[in-house]
Structure 1
Amino acid sequence: MQNIRKLPIGIQSFEDLRANNYLYVDKTEFVYNLVHTGKVYFLSRPRRFGKSLFISTLKAYFEGKKELFSGLKIEELEKDNPDAWKSYPVIYLNFAQNNFSKENFLNECINLQLEEYEKKYDIEKKYSDNLNPVHFAGRFINIVKTAREQTGLQAVVLIDEYDKPLLDTQNNEDLTEDNRQTLRGLYITLKALDENLKFVFLTGVTKFSKVSIFSDLNQLEDISITERYAAICGITEDEMLSTFEPEIKIMAEKNEITEQECIKKLEQIYDGYHFHHNCKGVYNPFSLINALKNLDFSYYWFATGTPTFLIKKLSQSTMNYMDLSNGIEATAQEIQDYRNDNPNPIPLFYQTGYLTIKGYDKEFGVYLLKYPNDEVKYAFINSLVPSVLNIQSTSELDIVSFARDIKKGDIESVMLKFKALFAKLPYTTCKKEKEDSIVEQNFQNVFYLVFTLLGQWSAVEETSSFGRADCVLQNGNNIFIFEFKRDKSADEALNQIEESKYVEPYLASGKNIIKIGASFSTKERNLSEWKIVKE
């Protein structure tokens, strides 16, 4: 059976989407609420999350293109509003499609967009150097005021991916500062133009704090972590089921699973983003729609960009790799405090979508942040492997070979593979006490990475009511309980499994229980011995 309905992959124009009969998840109620309850907004969401499409929807609404909204929620909501569907002058600045890693790229981008509106409103050229950022503010003010004079209506300003010129230059402090000053000079005009503006909406991945951009726009309403707008981008499960039911059915048939199993798998891989603690999760729209189009449960979002800057930020911090899986607590202020000189990686990980809200302690006002779903978790862990294990690519780890050994119950082969991995780790030239600490950390990281990645094919647990095992892995009819000791014997590791009753929760399962005790030698920088005991 062929999927003949049009899925909007890569479609960021609302007009294109509606005019060409692509499937559309109706977000127009959010447009109505924004327009009728406020004026100047900022929204932060991860990349490829539908920000550009939403801005395009706002653009079509303010341009009065009523025919594009036929059958959508906003048509009913606006039916008794005599002021609806007016054609306002819209100034739309788009930074999403450019790369700003080189000098003057930002100036050229701004100039081209301002020239477009100067031509539209027949504004006479006043400056000999249009690329001079000093002139941008004056040109922008002139465009807005002229647009109002010619139309008799206040202008609408929409700015997409306002922060991309800063994110693209993170490794170049001087260029980042130049771009920041250029953007500040442009954005600060929004406050001075207030009486000439009907509506303002800015989007970005991050909310740069303390960089004199948003500090000057104190009238800006940040809706990024508000309950009312938590689902403004992304796709809720209800939206997925009501919009893509035929595609889900076809995908289930193609993968030889039931529809409920298909929904469960889609949820596990692509759902789980929360932008407020008291709201349902949303799916990554880019990944979900690609999966339904390709009928394949692959990792799509992660493939659109590598997180090397995140890995660098993480390595420069005191945060442990395992903290990302176990969960990190942070206040609302912390998750929004992104700036280049902030050593804390939490706001960057949250705002870029690698961590999301998974819980909230109301008494202390702290959020629990974790990976949103399997797509983010496993793809990011894979990206860590080369830097942690000192290898060229993830293929050298050969995690599939580990998984096959687990499936066969061949733990001897698994332990030999671990030993080979440790042999690849680099030696350090630090003082003895620091060297031992690094060796132990490498020891922990190797096991963490391998067992986390094995979770793609096996159920991996780490805790029980009787205590904490280093790892419990279930695959098929086998349950493997691992305990690792540093500079102690394998027998001591096995004794801890017994004394701490790590086996107890699994005795009633009827499955084979295999206990593995292993010893890691700091001196040898490798596994020195292991013992395997079947219950």
Structure 2
Amino acid sequence: MEKVISIGKQIGKQNFASLRENHYFFVDKSHFIKDWWENGDEITLITRPRRFGKTLNMSMLDCFFSNKYAARGDLFEGLGVWKEEKYRELQGKYPVIFLSFAAVKADQLSEAKIQIKQQIARVYEENRYLLDGDLLSGNEKKAYNEVNLHMGDAEAAAALNNMSMYLARYYGRRVIILLDEYDTPMQEAYVHGYWAEFTTFVRSLFNATFKTNPYLERAMMTGITRVSKESIFSDLNNLRVVTTSDLYADCFGFTEKEVFASLDEFGMGDKKDVVKQWYDGFIFGGHRDIYNPWSITNYLKEKKLRPYWADTSSNGLVGKLIRTASPEIKEYMEDLLNGQAVTVNFDEQMVFEQLDYNENVIWSLLLASGYLKAEEVEYRGITLKPWYQLRITNLETVSMFDDMFSGWFEASEAGYSSFVKALMQGDLEAMNYYMNKVSLATFSHFDVGGETNESLEPERFYHGFVLGLMAERAECYQIRSNRESGFGRYDVMMIPKNREKDPAIIIEFKVCSRVKKETLEDAVQEALKQIVDKKYDAELVALGVPQERIRHYGFAFAGKNVLIGAE
């Protein structure tokens, strides 16, 4: 690892040249240049979670290969790649086209296309010297000047291919194309409902830029998710996709050795254990101790444990998908919050259009986004389908899930925090008042579009309620839930971590039976009876909870109406 040069200056800068010129904090990842070049892949796609050093590495590739930096070998002096004469001679030798789709975020298709065309037009503006002299024909000059944000889709699709031809003709070398955050507009297209039309446009652009481009030397794309080949890469047979494998595993993020050396450099060597708990946990192939660089650099600067990485995104899509997911998905989330691993089967390729009907796609999104880590992958059956053993990545991502689940109930009209306070105080009247407000305000949030079976609503709400409760009271309670599918009964046991201070709470949920014409009052009594029949008290007493500190509550549901009783 390169020596930390400056402690007091800016951290988290993504422009390689500026970072090196100003002696900002930097961990040497220049071996990525050598690794990529020697692998020889024509087109490479690397996916990593957000804020994981992708943009900085792409900027580093630009500074190394681009002939615009031909006289800037000083940017690499002292770095690993500069030790080999072969690479010192390679620096600054290629024409490079460097684009980013990070800012392509639009509510509608037309705006998304304009924003991409704007990025392409910027490349043309940066290279207007090509119009000088007789390098381009009259028709080519005319076409060049017509490249702008209002050009047609066909012109936009061909524009980077044409620019590659112009640059190759001018410099006598084929071009390198770098595309950062390629998938940002894909997620926006899904969220805002123009996915199908948008992928048609992008597929044409990628085909012309990367497949039918004889002027292309190499290309690199980075992003968070691996969008399925069928969606936008169907024409690219020369694409090398790198997700969670060993390839380039230590080129993005910080290794434990790099983190510990940085902590020592900053005089914080005694914080290694707690930093590992908070920010370690990312796994790529056989590399198991990869740290999130955004969180580490901010911790070095602020010297405080905070969810720096988790705070850099709204997590809106992930939150919506979990909130409206089936009870089974929510049960898995309960297990994950309890520190357990879950084993699930899914395809790492992200098929956005399947999110509406194939719930397992959510695991691909959670893994690619860095919220979960794959501790093991087992290939089962004749077809060797991958089964992933997943776990929440680290304490920082636990805090992100906590905020997400408690946020489901934070609407001012819901009164969820008031309900939790009443529950802790044993105030039955207030519990009834606030729980009815909560159910009325939030039942629809857990609804899955297209289903109208009212009997499913309490179950969806129940699982959301348990996740919210786990997020709200995790510091004081171990929360266990038990689901009796098909019987309309679900229970929650809240086991206090401080047996002498806090009460133990048992909650039995019961859905009123329409067949039996059961009333809310009848259902409450049935729920309370279930608590006694299951002998939960004996289990709690065995755990050291005094009998007099065990509370029983029966929750009865009839539609969105709730009645709570106590014994």
TM-score range relative to shorter protein = 0.7 to 0.9
Hey, what does 2:15 align to over in structure 1?
Answer: 13
Hey, what does 1:96 align to over in structure 2?
Answer: 102
Separation (CA, whole Å) in 1 of partners of 2:267 and 2:417: 32
CA contact (8 A) 1:90 1:156 kept: yes
CA contact (8 A) 2:120 2:160 kept: no
Task: Give SS of 2:348's match.
Answer: helix
* Alpha carbons of structure 1 residues 239 and 498: separation in structure 2 relative to 1, 3 Å: same
Separation (CA, whole Å) in 1 of partners of 2:171 and 2:125: 17
* Alpha carbons of structure 1 residues 385 and 516: separation in structure 2 relative to 1, 3 Å: same
Matched, 1:55 2:78: no
% same residue: 21
Separation (CA, whole Å) in 2 of partners of 1:66 and 1:340: 45
Say which of 180, 202, 222 aligns to 1:160: 180
- CA deviation digits over 1:141-177, x for unaligned, max 9? 2221222232232211100111222222334334x44
- How far residue 5 of structure 1 moved from its aligned partner, in angstroms, is 0.7
Hey, what does 1:73 align to over in structure 2?
Answer: 80
AA matched with 1:528: G
Say which of 493, 496, 505 aligns to 1:470: 493
* Alpha carbons of structure 1 residues 162 and 513: separation in structure 2 relative to 1, 3 Å: farther
- CA deviation digits over 1:220-249, x for unaligned, max 9? 101112123233322232211112324462
- How far residue 53 of structure 1 moved from its aligned partner, in angstroms, is 0.7
TM-score (normalizing by structure 1) = 0.80
Task: Give SS of 1:274's match.
Answer: strand
- How far residue 46 of structure 1 moved from its aligned partner, in angstroms, is 2.3
CA contact (8 A) 2:227 2:352 kept: yes
Say which of 223, 242, 266 aligns to 2:275: 266
Task: Give the length in aligned residue pairs.
Answer: 497
- How far residue 422 of structure 1 moved from its aligned partner, in angstroms, is 1.8
- How far residue 493 of structure 1 moved from its aligned partner, in angstroms, is 3.0
Task: Give SS of 1:87's match.
Answer: coil
Hey, what does 1:87 align to over in structure 2?
Answer: 93
* Alpha carbons of structure 1 residues 29 and 476: separation in structure 2 relative to 1, 3 Å: farther
Hey, what does 2:343 align to over in structure 1?
Answer: 329
Task: Give SS of 2:162's match.
Answer: helix
CA contact (8 A) 1:230 1:275 kept: yes
- How far residue 446 of structure 1 moved from its aligned partner, in angstroms, is 2.0
Separation (CA, whole Å) in 2 of partners of 1:94 and 1:248: 37
Task: Give SS of 2:388's match.
Answer: strand
Stretches of structure 1 lacking an aligned partner (at least 5 in a row): 250-258, 531-535
Aligned pairs (5 A) from 1:363-512: 363=380, 365-387=386-408, 389=409, 391-392=411-412, 397-398=416-417, 411-413=424-426, 419=432, 421-427=434-440, 434-455=453-474, 457-458=475-476, 460=478, 462=480, 470-475=493-498, 481-487=504-510, 488=526, 490=528, 493=531, 496=534, 501=539, 504=542, 506=543
Say which of 136, 142, 160 aligns to 1:126: 142
Say which of 110, 116, 121 aligns to 1:112: 121
Hey, what does 2:304 align to over in structure 1?
Answer: 296
Hey, what does 1:252 align to over in structure 2?
Answer: none
* Alpha carbons of structure 1 residues 268 and 481: separation in structure 2 relative to 1, 3 Å: farther
AA matched with 1:329: T
CA contact (8 A) 2:82 2:88 kept: no
Task: Give SS of 1:222's match.
Answer: strand
Hey, what does 1:140 align to over in structure 2?
Answer: 160
Separation (CA, whole Å) in 2 of partners of 1:354 and 1:146: 43
- CA deviation digits over 1:6-36, x for unaligned, max 9? 4654411111111111111222222211111
Separation (CA, whole Å) in 2 of partners of 1:265 and 1:499: 37
CA contact (8 A) 1:237 1:283 kept: yes
Provide runs of 4+ in structure 1 moved above 6 Å.
414-417, 510-513
Hey, what does 2:564 align to over in structure 1?
Answer: 527
* Alpha carbons of structure 1 residues 384 and 97: separation in structure 2 relative to 1, 3 Å: same
Matched, 1:354 2:410: no
* Alpha carbons of structure 1 residues 28 and 471: separation in structure 2 relative to 1, 3 Å: farther
- How far residue 529 of structure 1 moved from its aligned partner, in angstroms, is 1.0
Task: Give SS of 1:203's match.
Answer: strand
Stretches of structure 2 lacking an aligned partner (at least 5 in a row): 337-341, 482-490, 511-525
